[in-house]
Structure 1
């Protein structure tokens, strides 16, 4: 009986030490995360050219425009929201809304925005394929910017213009 009590007491102490170690590890991870977030918040290099470097994601007018654009297919609201993001240097962050607008409402300018945003950075293979798909889809729908880009990429180089479905469905 003594051995069982001693063994139980020993296990209790051992488990208690493990919990303390886990708590210390969590505290260290939290402080590291806080340091990383603090560095990110002070790194404003990407947006320094804009006045006061603030973007109000809680702007009710912007929210209403995005809501109208996506749920009701309001193209003027979409253009207004797009301009709001562009003016404030947050065009890449607009990608999510452009994809929603393009896929839900089949809007040619949204497809053009997707291809423009994805073309502006280094992306993986599938992002590049989606960029090409969006460009060709916008071209097929008659967008002026897409027509000019397709002319530069395909027609001027003597290449055949593929269908958007052939890009999106490949691999």
Structure 2
């Protein structure tokens, strides 16, 4: 199989593994090969300092994704401090992200926090957003939007409380 064929074969596999499908606005719709190339590029990048995990997914025109269906969940063993999240998308327009953070509460239970990051511009690089939650056990990421085909990427960054 050629490297192009291998990359194209990986894209549907991401969908079967629970990567959300959502929409990113796009007057000039990127081709499937361009989307796959962008996604492969994000996955091949060296992780930034403090990276606790990353997720990427495809955007399809007109699809909407709920916060609970198809999200990517990163389970964190060490219950770290989650400092920020880096968000980016490919395509024209914007993407909306929902980040669901589960953390251990002082009483031994779990506290859930949902943070919305709306209208993240696609094609303008990485947008870093604060989270600032301690004792995190999982982070769920969902990308959505409206309009056209594209892709999204998120990197969860940890550190020490400051």
TM-score computed with the length of structure 1 as normaliser = 0.21
TM-score computed with the length of structure 2 as normaliser = 0.22
Higher RCO (CA-CA < 8 Å; seq separation 6+): 2
* Higher-helix-fraction structure: 1
